[in-house]
Amino acid sequence: MLDLLEKRLSPRAPQLTGLTVGDVIAMLETFDPAAPVMVQGESGGFEEVLGFRTTGVVLNVNTAEGFGPHDLPDDGARAELVAVVVRSAER
C-alpha cells in the first residue's frame, strides 16, 4: 500500500509556457504540407529545419544574455525532462 501512495505523490511535472508536440502538430495541420519549415537565423535571415531529436534538459539554469534558459545537464546529472529539439542547418 505504501508503494502505491509514493507513486501518487511523485513531484508535479514542470509548468512550461512554450509549445508542446501536440500544439505543434495541431498548428502544422493548418499549413500547406509542401511548405518548407524554417527558423530565424541567429543574426537575421532564416535557416532550414533539418529534423527533430529528443534530448534531456534541465530547466532555468542559464541567465546570461543570448542563452536560452534551459540547457543540457552537467555530466552525471539527471535531466529534468526530455524535450524535442529542432535541428537547423549549420553554418
19-46 residue pLDDT tens = 999 999 999 999 999 999 999 988 899 9
User: Which pLDDT band, with edges at 50, 70 and 90, does 56 fall under?
Assistant: very high
Boundaries of every domain in the chain: 17-88
Alpha helices in 13-74 (DSSP H): 21-28
Kind of pairing, strands 38-40 and 46-57? antiparallel
In this predicted structure, the answer to whether residue 12 has a pLDDT above a threshold of 60 is: yes
* CA nearest to 67, candidates 54, 58, 78: 58
For residue 27, give Cα distances in angstroms to 21, 38, 49.
10, 15, 16
CA distance 85 to 30: 21
